[in-house]
């Protein structure tokens, strides 16, 4: 039998726990996500426990201890916020990393305030998730180590010497003359000195030259009790003969010093004799470096190392004050790369990042000493040009920038050209407010883009109007839902041979109080960018469901109703639930609900979209590919989705009389039939177009030839006529 000192128990326990495989609890209500994360973590030799929802997570947390919990927020039985609250209320120390598809900053803030140690947005890169887990495990391990060290410090006095020499802090004593009488072992790893070399030396041999005056009142402390020195930062010099890795500046360490005076206990209270000082110096070099890193990251772009918007604003504020004193103008430039999105989409973000780095380097070469170059985000840069003489100085620098960037850039075998549009404004001529100058330069830059790109445009007061109008439209849009200003129109989809109405497409319209009836072309882009499109899309689903229920109640024949789905709507984590809610609330036949999604949108997140649409298809809901033929997808990928309908884009129908277009449409109809799909031709406006479609046996048509989009009341009358045996006969059967 092996005996061990009982006081070693915590140390052995710590070592044992550090050697165990980390156990990770993964909480999500999506089986595919659970399976994917499980395989990813198992490959890193983590012990993985899966919980399908919040309730299973609480049971698992109650039964076992975990090193990390990966927690989804949106779960039907018990959401992630409630799981976080359970963990916090019961004092569970396991760190929680929230992995959520909610990309809003509010979701991240709520999760972190709820007790989460980190927040990862879906979709994520596997390497990023693993790095976050490793960082959390490391932080947890270090916390445990520090806690155990603190416990050791509270042990019996006989361990005092051991603890002093194994302390992570530099501990010393000085005599009354300021010479070292004791230094612990930490001095060797901290500064590279041997203990015996320092004992007997004056403390000043360790003090950075600039800190010696302060050290006279700090290092050799004479006060004791509550008046002694605590946590004072001071720099200690490293042994110049020792190689020290990763120092703050290669020559010194920053420590927090706590010191107290020592007095002869045998002397009387009125004749206390000072015998020296006792001090503890805690190495805070890494913390200071981390603080500097955080400060740097707060004011710099992490990709290019350039100042970010916050630091650019600070520089501009300082230069504006100096400009007023010197009575010299300055200029603010807003630069945006032309067609950068094409490079990102076609070659990937890695190539795009390399291009941004190359552009940043070239821009620096074009600027003067004292000019400020910043990256404000994406492919947008900003330049501050102080000490100018006139606009001609700005024009000269901008011509140089455009010329330098026009030269090819070679990245990983790709030859690329990075033209740039530049907007400029002058201070004080165009104003003297920081944010106004930046905004005016950006507006001038957008104007340069509209006038042909790769050019300079100075700010002019009249440029503000279109952007003010857009801002007003966005404000009106945000209030429109609450004011019930939206309405659905319906355009029939009819059988080409018989003229029978097979369905309707629900089309959104906005009754603007001042502008009148607006189509999506007037506001949908703003709705997408502002996020209003998500609640607006949910309103369309509910309204369409209510209309179908009304037709059913009136005894009208059941017809298919198609609803357009936006990108932001499809990416919403509640998308499937919102669609199903619209179907269930009105007790609809799911087969009569059809969702129209464009090819390009379908391909944006192949795996996630296939999963969502597969869940909806399982309930009978139909899927239509809108604007077919205008995207870049293939039937290989489209076959992964539960598609029921192909809608041929009206651009092909408009010129169907041209032989090449006729061949394309014929091929689309043939492929659709081959895949057993319903094919609908959009934008049919003439009898000649109809005849062509009848010749190639296209199933259905939609367009002004039969009917424009009509109101709910008119659509109801149209269905009622069909029920009584009448039809809107535009000659479809006999044309």
Residues 552 and 719: beta-carbon distance below 8 Å: no
CA end-to-end span of the chain: 101
Q: Is 253 helix (H, G, I), strand (E, B) or coil?
A: strand
Distance CA 217, CA 208 (A): 15
Lowest mean pLDDT among 148-162, 171-185, 434-448, 567-581: 148-162
Rounded to whole angstroms, the maximal C-alpha distance in the chain is 124
- How confident is residue 12, by pLDDT bands cut at 50, 70 and 90? very low
Q: What is the pLDDT of residue 250?
A: 56
**What percent of the chain lies above the pLDDT cut of 70?**
88
Residues 493 and 502: beta-carbon distance below 8 Å: yes
CA 115 distance to own-chain centroid: 20
The CA-based dihedral angle spanning residues 96, 101, 103, 106, taken in that order and rounded to the nearest 10 degrees: -50
Q: Is a pLDDT exceeding 60 seen at residue 10?
A: no
Q: What is the pLDDT of residue 21?
A: 85
Distance CA 519, CA 90 (A): 54
For residue 614, give every residue at least 6 positions away whose Cβ sits within 8 Å of its Cβ, in sequence order, or none.
641, 642
Strand order from edge to edge, sheet including 380-385: 372-377, 380-385, 330-337, 420-427, 456-458
Q: What is the pLDDT of residue 636?
A: 62
Name the nearest CA neighbour of 196 among 183, 207, 214.
Answer: 183
Element (H, E) at 256: strand 252-263
Q: Which tokens belong to 284?
A: 């805070």
E-only strand ranges, 521-583: 560-564
Distance CA 647, CA 732 (A): 19
The pLDDT tens digits of the residues spanning 249-285 come to: 457 888 888 888 888 766 666 667 788 888 888 888 8
Name the nearest CA neighbour of 422 among 388, 390, 398, 406.
Answer: 398
Distance CA 333, CA 580 (A): 50
Lowest mean pLDDT among 66-75, 335-344, 642-651: 335-344
Name the nearest CA neighbour of 496 among 244, 639, 692, 294.
Answer: 692
Name the nearest CA neighbour of 236 among 220, 219, 222.
Answer: 219
- How confident is residue 153, by pLDDT bands cut at 50, 70 and 90? low
Q: What is the pLDDT of residue 685?
A: 93
The pLDDT tens digits of the residues spanning 571-604 come to: 888 899 999 998 999 999 989 999 998 877 777 7
Q: What is the pLDDT of residue 346?
A: 72
Distance CA 90, CA 61 (A): 11
Instruction: Give me the chain's average pLDDT, please.
Output: 84
Distance CA 270, CA 426 (A): 74
CA distances from 253 to 108, 171, 201, 248, 438 (A): 36, 15, 19, 6, 41
The pLDDT tens digits of the residues spanning 433-478 come to: 999 999 999 989 988 888 888 899 999 887 876 666 777 888 888 8
DSSP for 108-156 reads: HHHHHHTT-SEEEESS--HHHHHHHHHHHHHHHHHHHHHHHHHHHHTS-
- How confident is residue 634, by pLDDT bands cut at 50, 70 and 90? low
Q: What is the pLDDT of residue 268?
A: 61
Q: What is the pLDDT of residue 727?
A: 44
Distance CA 441, CA 433 (A): 12
Name the nearest CA neighbour of 203 among 282, 277, 285.
Answer: 277
More confident residue, 218 or 272: 218
Residues 561 and 547: beta-carbon distance below 8 Å: yes
Residues 256 and 231: beta-carbon distance below 8 Å: yes
**281: DSSP letter:** E
E-only strand ranges, 430-478: 456-458
Q: What is the pLDDT of residue 490?
A: 96
- How confident is residue 570, by pLDDT bands cut at 50, 70 and 90? confident
Residues 623 and 617: beta-carbon distance below 8 Å: yes
E-only strand ranges, 460-548: 486-495, 501-512, 516-518
Distance CA 168, CA 190 (A): 9
Q: Is a pLDDT exceeding 70 seen at residue 667?
A: yes
For residue 730, give every residue at least 6 positions away whose Cβ sits within 8 Å of its Cβ, in sequence order, or none.
499, 705, 706
Distance CA 190, CA 173 (A): 17
């Amino acid at each position: 039998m092996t005996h061990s000192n009982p006081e070693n128990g915590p140390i052995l326990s710590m070592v044992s726990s550090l050697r165990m495989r980390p156990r990770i609890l993964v909480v999500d209500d999506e089986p595919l996500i659970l399976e994917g994360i499980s395989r990813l973590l198992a490959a890193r030799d983590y012990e993985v426990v899966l919980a399908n929802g919040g309730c299973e997570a609480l049971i698992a947390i109650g039964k076992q201890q975990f090193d990390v919990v990966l927690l989804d927020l949106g779960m039907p039985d018990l959401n992630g916020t409630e799981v976080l609250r359970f963990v916090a209320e019961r004092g569970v120390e396991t760190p929680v990393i929230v992995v959520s598809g909610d990309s809003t900053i509010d979701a991240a803030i709520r999760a972190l305030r709820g007790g989460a140690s980190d927040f990862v947005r879906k979709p994520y890169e596997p390497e990023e998730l693993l790095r976050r887990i490793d960082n959390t495990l490391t932080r947890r391990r270090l916390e445990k180590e520090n806690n155990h060290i603190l416990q050791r410090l509270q042990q019996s006095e006989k361990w005092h010497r051991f603890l002093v020499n194994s302390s992570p802090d530099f501990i010393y004593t000085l005599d009354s003359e300021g010479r070292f009488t004791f230094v612990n072992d930490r001095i060797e790893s901290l500064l590279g000195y041997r203990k015996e070399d320092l004992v007997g030396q004056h403390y000043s041999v360790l003090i950075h030259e600039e800190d010696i005056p302060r050290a006279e009142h700090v290092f050799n402390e004479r006060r004791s009790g509550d008046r002694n020195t605590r946590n004072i930062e001071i720099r200690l010099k490293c042994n110049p003969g020792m190689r020290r890795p990763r120092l703050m500046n290669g020559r010194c360490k920053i420590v927090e010093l706590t010191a107290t005076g020592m007095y002869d206990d045998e002397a009387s209270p009125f004749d206390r004799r000072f015998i020296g000082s006792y001090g503890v110096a805690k190495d805070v070099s890494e913390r200071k470096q981390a603080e500097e890193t955080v400060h740097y990251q707060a004011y710099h772009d992490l990709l290019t190392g350039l100042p970010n918007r916050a630091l650019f604003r600070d520089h501009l504020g300082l230069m504006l004050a100096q400009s007023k004193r010197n009575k010299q103008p300055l200029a603010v430039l807003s630069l945006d790369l032309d067609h950068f999105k094409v490079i990102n989409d076609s070659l990937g973000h890695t190539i795009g990042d390399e291009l941004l780095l190359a552009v940043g380097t070239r821009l620096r070469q074009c600027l003067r000493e004292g000019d400020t170059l910043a990256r404000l985000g994406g492919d947008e840069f900003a330049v501050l040009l102080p000490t100018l003489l006139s606009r001609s100085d700005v024009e000269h620098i901008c011509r140089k920038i455009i010329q330098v960037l026009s030269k090819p850039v070679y990245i990983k075998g790709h030859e690329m050209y990075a033209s740039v549009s530049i907007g400029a404004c002058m201070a004080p001529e165009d104003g003297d407010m920081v944010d106004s100058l930046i905004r005016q330069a950006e507006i001038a830059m957008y104007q340069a883009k509209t006038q042909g790109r790769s050019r300079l445009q100075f700010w002019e007061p009249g440029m503000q109007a279109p952007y003010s109008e857009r801002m007003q439209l966005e404000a009106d849009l945000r209030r429109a839902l609450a004011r019930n200003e939206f309405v659905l129109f319906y355009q029939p989809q009819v059988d080409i041979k018989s003229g029978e109405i097979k369905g309707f497409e629900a089309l959104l319209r906005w009754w603007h109080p001042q502008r009148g009836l607006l189509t999506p072309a007037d506001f949908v882009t703003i709705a997408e960018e502002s996020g209003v499109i998500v609640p607006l899309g949910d309103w369309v689903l509910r309204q369409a469901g209510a209309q179908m229920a009304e037709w059913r109640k009136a005894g009208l024949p059941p017809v298919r109703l198609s609803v357009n789905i936006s990108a932001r709507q499809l990416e919403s984590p509640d998308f499937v639930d919102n669609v199903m809610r619209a179907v269930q609330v009105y007790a609809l036949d799911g087969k009569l609900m059809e969702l129209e999604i464009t090819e390009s949108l379908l391909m944006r997140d192949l795996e996630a979209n296939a999963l969502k649409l597969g869940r909806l298809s399982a309930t009978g809901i139909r899927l239509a590919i809108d604007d077919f033929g205008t995207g870049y997808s293939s039937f290989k990928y489209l076959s992964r989705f539960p598609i029921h309908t192909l809608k041929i884009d009206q651009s092909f129908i408009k010129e169907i009389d041209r032989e090449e277009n006729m061949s394309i449409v014929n091929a689309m109809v043939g492929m659709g039939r081959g895949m057993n799909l319903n094919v609908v031709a959009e934008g049919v406006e003439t009898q000649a177009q109809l005849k062509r479609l009848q010749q190639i046996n296209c199933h259905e048509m939609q367009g002004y030839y039969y009917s424009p989009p009509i109101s709910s009341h008119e659509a109801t009358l149209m269905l009622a006529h069909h029920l009584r045996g009448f039809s809107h006969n535009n000659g479809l059967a006999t044309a």
